[in-house]
Amino acid sequence: MPTRFVVIGGGLAAATAVSELRSLGFDGAIDLVAAEPRRPYERPPLSKGYLTGADDRESVFVHAEGWEAEYDVTPHLGVAARGIAEGRVELDDGTSLAFDQILIATGATPRPLPVPGGDAPGVHTFRTLDDADALRASLAEGGRRVVCVGSGWIGLELAAAARGYGNEVTVVTRSRAPLAAALGDEMGGVFRELHEDHGVTFLLERQVLAIETGSGDSATGVRTDRELVPADVVIVGIGAVPDTELAETAGAAIDGGILVDESMRTSVEGIFAAGDAANAFHPVLGARLRSEHWANAIASGKVAAASMLGRDAALDDVPYFFTDQYDLGMEYSGYAPLADDAEVVVRGDRRSGEFIAFWVQGDRVVAGMNVNIWDVQYQVQRLIRDRVAVDRTQLADSAIDLASIA
């Protein structure tokens, strides 16, 4: 029976795995190594309540202060793991730790803007508490010209926060609609209208060529293939790259993330991966899915912990994601890769701001998004998971209880 576990990472997947190991009864040693100098924390509040000032700093942490004693874990904070070989992990403070099993939950790093001036002062990428503090300092006074490059989830949440502080906000994106890659043009249009109603300007189908710095070295504008957009603050939200370097040192197979099976096992015996860094085989989808969402960090952290203890466990949840922007709250459940050419069926009135959109392939729901309607995501997930044969008219009819569609 293994007695020494090491968990690498300072996010939700790592923190969840530690608590799950203890709740499953593991009583051996656990070391947690995290590059950031603080106990593990969650990222969703960073671009929402923490950035706007509605949530305090303490609320972002996964476990309360005193967690080391509560979970009997030895933390190594502010220390990065550099290499894994022969049952030891080398840390960048010159020490190393022996392990029987190791979990790599190293997350992802924002993709930098690959243009001249892309890393100039005044250009923000966004992933950490430090990033949130820096951006809040730039936005909080209001009255600044903020340009968001990218129109994915984080770009739009940051645009909403920037507007909330009374800044002028322009979103520059190469897409035809915000969130087009995740939701398609039609439902992306819902978010476009939402932001436009709050005074955001969209420059769509633009290629960013450079960040201008004028005569100084700070960002003064975003040059696109069509115009120069003046800016005091530039936010880059163009996706994130999984942190796979550590797993590579161990010889684990990598392809768009650390490859793991449905039990979070990498190609190397005794090495597991979870969260944003892992590209997991999804048994229902029958394909790999690197999910970069909060619910996946929790679920994969739990499955990894169980697998490390030699138990049978598989991650087969319907992927789930949420966002909050202005007064819109939304939950998305489903298999985005299957929704690409699906038909969108809407239950309720889109313009009322309260509706459910279903992505339907043949007679099956492959994804669903409830907007400002709550406690229905389990019904939406049931339709997807159980592959319920649906009638589009019934699906669109709010008078028919979702639970009765079987």
| Phi and psi angles of residue 43, each rounded to the nearest 5 degrees, phi first | -95, -30
What is the spatial distance between Cα 265 and Cα 153, in angstroms, rounded to a whole number?
29
Residue 80 as a binder of ligand FAD (CB under 6 A): the answer is yes
On the CB side of 164, CA atoms within 13 Å amount to 20
What is the spatial distance between Cα 14 and Cα 103, in angstroms, rounded to a whole number?
8
Residue 146 as a binder of ligand FAD (CB under 6 A): the answer is no
Minimum Å gap between C-beta 207 and ligand FAD is: 25
What is the spatial distance between Cα 147 and Cα 69, in angstroms, rounded to a whole number?
44
Which positions from 323 to 362 touch ligand FAD by CB under 6 A, shown as an x/- string? x---------------------------------------
Q: Which residues pair with 390 in a beta bridge?
A: none
Classified as helix, coil or strand, 38 is coil
Minimum Å gap between C-beta 19 and ligand FAD is: 13
What is the spatial distance between Cα 251 and Cα 110, in angstroms, rounded to a whole number?
24
C-alpha pair distances (Å), 183 with each of 222, 258, 333, 340? 26, 26, 11, 8
Minimum Å gap between C-beta 389 and ligand FAD is: 29
Residue 36 as a binder of ligand FAD (CB under 6 A): the answer is yes
Query: Residue 204 or residue 241: which is nearer to ligand FAD going by CB?
Result: 241
Residue 294 as a binder of ligand FAD (CB under 6 A): the answer is yes
Q: Quick one: tokens of 100?
A: 């029987």
H-helix or E-strand spanning residue 14: helix 12-23
Residue 20 as a binder of ligand FAD (CB under 6 A): the answer is no
Amino acid at 362: G
Residue 275 as a binder of ligand FAD (CB under 6 A): the answer is yes
Stretch that binds ligand FAD, among 12-20, 58-66, 93-101, 353-361 (CB under 6 A): 12-20
Residue 242 as a binder of ligand FAD (CB under 6 A): the answer is no
| Binder among 81, 149, 171, 390 for ligand FAD (CB under 6 A) | 81
| Contacts to ligand FAD by CB under 6 A | 8-14, 33-36, 43-44, 46-47, 80-81, 105-108, 126-127, 154, 243, 246, 275-277, 292-295, 297, 321-323
